[in-house]
A and B are shown apart, each in its own frame.
Chain A
Amino acid sequence: MKEIMDILEELDWSPLFISLKTGVAATVISFFLGIFAARRAVKAPPGKKAVIDGILSLPMVLPPTVAGFFLLLLFSRRRPLGEFLFDEFGFKVVQTWLGCVIAATVIAFPLMYRNARAAMEQIDVNLVYAGRTLGMSESEIFWKVVVPTAGPGIASGTILTFARALGEYGATSMLAGNIPGKTGTISQKIAMVIQDGDYLTAGIWVVIVLVIAFVIIFLMNLISGKKMKNVGRW
């Protein structure tokens, strides 16, 4: 017990804040991009939709290290895009917190997109038609009718996105590395201390992650519970 207290006293809390910060940033970006992409996909003709859908969902099925590989190819400063971003705007992606955010966003984005799309597809298309015949503009219909009606689905997508972004490991370690206090997230911290054989510190971080995960699941159920109030019990 005393050992745990000692470790807690000296614990570097930076992984928690880096993870939370990364999670929030990636979620905010995914939220808007995901809704935007979902809107495009719902409106697209079937063939085009299948292609868009495939590309946007890919990061979800690929091993994160494969995504990390592509991201490195793209953003390395020895590559055109990476070079351009650094020369023109001074943006460094590899081995920076920005890298953490980009990696987490790419991996978590499909969850947002797919949930938003599924929720929007569930909407009675007559609502959109009604909006049109009532003279509402397309963007009014989208923001005032479609998004609120798809609200529960979008909300659960947002939470899942946050959860996934918070725990991202593979792509992050490749793109952003594990620089303590800068890019060292909880997942990377756990992997690192385990390699050192420090199971106690790892255990403490695991408990922290478990608590966060439980809160997330609880929130999810709260939201979908509201939506499901008319569903019968088995």
Chain B
Amino acid sequence: MSISVEIHKNLNSFMLDVSFRSTSRRIGILGASGCGKSMTLKSIAGIETPDAGRIAVEDRILFDSGSRIDLKPQKRNVGYLFQNYALFPTMTVEKNIGAGLKGNRIEKEKRVREMIRKFQLEGLEQQLPDQLSGGQQQRVALARIMAYEPDVILLDEPFSALDMFLKDRLQRELENMLEGYGGTVILVSHDRDEVYRFSEELLIMDQGRIAAAGPTKEVFRDPKNKTAARLTGCKNFSRIRKLGKDTVEAIDWDLVLHTGRTVPDDAEYIGYRAHDFVPVWGEAGENMLRFDPVSSASLPFEHNYYIRPGKKAGADEVICWFVQREELQRLEGRGKPDYLKIEEEKILFLKK
């Protein structure tokens, strides 16, 4: 199954310009709220109409501004899971699942029963949506979508409104339920953990444009530009000046770094993840920052230190170091380190 999408739409505050093509079964779109990712999904489903572009699933064209094709959402065979599930409040579970089914009554009833069994909704057939738990509602919503066998399923921030405990459970449940589904699933979220665990292929969106794209793990390992790096959770950035083939000056950190590999010509920034610093006790060495915390924060399983980077830095520019459990115990044993080491292979080279 392949999907190809090209969407141009004026969204007043910015232009949505998205274009991608994928044969992955699980695609993730990561972006801050209001970056146009939801609009992208709605355009694929036919709920919103792009100003121009082309959307196709396999060789079925859903939208093509060039040849004036704009299939109604009813004809697209694209399922849409809304964040609030959008279950019809006056219909029972059974009626909700059967709402969009075509064909005669016996076939419909058979299909509904099949879905109720498959999604473990037995005994809830006559319940109304507001009598169900969040997990049950998600199952009904998905059963309703799966009942009519869509080619593509779109998940619009399905877990954003949930508390952490329920979130993890529903994520696992959703993954299980989608196990046997052969079509394409696109998940949109602002939560990097969510897209990381779910998707094989990842698009990172910012201000209506795709900032980075590729296999998910690859994009997280090397986001290639600052926007994408920030959205994948990178906290520390510095402008750079190239001093040699493998030496740069990190201007904002007031530090010369040896990178251990050739610095790409188009790199303007380096990024370094807050978890990747290594504490050093004793003498200063290469690639080391003086550990001089301006503030710190204590979290249940983590400790965050904020360090002033160099003498020239302004008060609001800090480097974040996130210390996790085992290391935290080491720290408690030996006291605060003197320096933080930046490891060569973990430096990200970034374009703007």
Q: 0/1 per residue, A130-144, Cβ < 8 Å to B?
A: 111111110000001
Is the beta-carbon distance between A129 and B88 smaller than 8 angstroms? no
Q: Is the CB of B102 within 8 A of A133?
A: no
Task: Give Cα A148–Cα B96 distance, bound, in whole angstroms.
Answer: 13
Q: Closest 5 CB pairs between A and B? A: A134-B100, A130-B86, A132-B73, A148-B90, A126-B86
**A144-B84 CB under 8 A given contacts A133-B76, A133-B78:** no
For A132, A144, A151, which residue has the most chain B Cβ atoms within 10 angstroms?
A: A132
Q: Please indicate the chain B residues that have their CB under 8 angstroms from the CB of A136 in the complex.
A: 74, 99-100
User: Residues of A contacting B42 with CB < 8 Å?
Assistant: 129
- Cα A49 to Cα B102 in complex, Å, equals 34
Chain A residues near B (Cβ < 8 Å) = 124, 126-127, 129-137, 144-145, 148-149, 151
1/0 per position for B68-80, CB-CB distance to A under 8 A? 0000111110111
A127–B47 CB distance below 8 A: no
- Closest Cβ of chain A: how far from B75's Cβ, in Å? 8
Evaluate whether A127 and B73 lie within 8 angstroms (CB atoms) in the complex, with A132-B47, A134-B99, A135-B148 already known: no
Given contacts A136-B74, A145-B88, contact A126 B99 (CB under 8 A): no
B54 at the interface (CB under 8 A from A): no
Are A151 and B86 in touch, CB under 8 angstroms?
no
Assess whether B89 is interfacial by the CB under 8 Å rule.
Answer: yes
Q: How far is the CB of B121 from chain A (nearest CB, A)?
A: 17
Q: Determine the chain A residues whose CB is within 8 A of the CB of B45 once the complex forms.
A: 129, 133
Which B residues between 301 and 344 are near A, CB-CB below 8 angstroms?
none
B82 touches A134 (CB 8 A): no
Residues in chain B near residue A129, CB distance under 8 A? 42, 45, 47, 73, 80, 82, 86
Identify A133's interface contact among B47, B88, B91, CB under 8 A. B47
The answer for the CA separation of A21 and B89 in the assembled complex, in Å, is 35
Contacts of A149 in B (CB 8 A): 88-90
Does B46 have its Cβ within 8 Å of any Cβ on chain A? yes
Report how far A130 CA is from B73 CA in the complex, Å: 9
Selected contact of B82 from candidates A130, A135, A145, A148, CB within 8 Å: A130
Q: Which residues of B contact A130 (CB under 8 A)?
A: 80, 82, 86, 88
In the complex, the answer to whether A134 meets B145 with C-beta atoms within 8 Å is: yes
Contact B72 A132 (CB under 8 A): yes
A11 to chain B, nearest CB (A): 45
> In the bound complex, how far is the Cα of B81 from the Cα of A227, in angstroms?
27
B144 at the A/B interface (Cβ < 8 Å)?
A: yes
List 17 A–B pairs whose Cβ atoms lie within 8 Å, in order of A's numbering: A126-B82, A126-B86, A129-B73, A129-B86, A130-B86, A131-B100, A133-B47, A133-B80, A134-B79, A134-B99, A135-B74, A135-B102, A137-B74, A144-B88, A144-B91, A144-B99, A145-B90
Which of A124, A133, A148 lies in contact with B73, CB distance below 8 A? A133
Docked CA distance A133–B73 (Å): 5
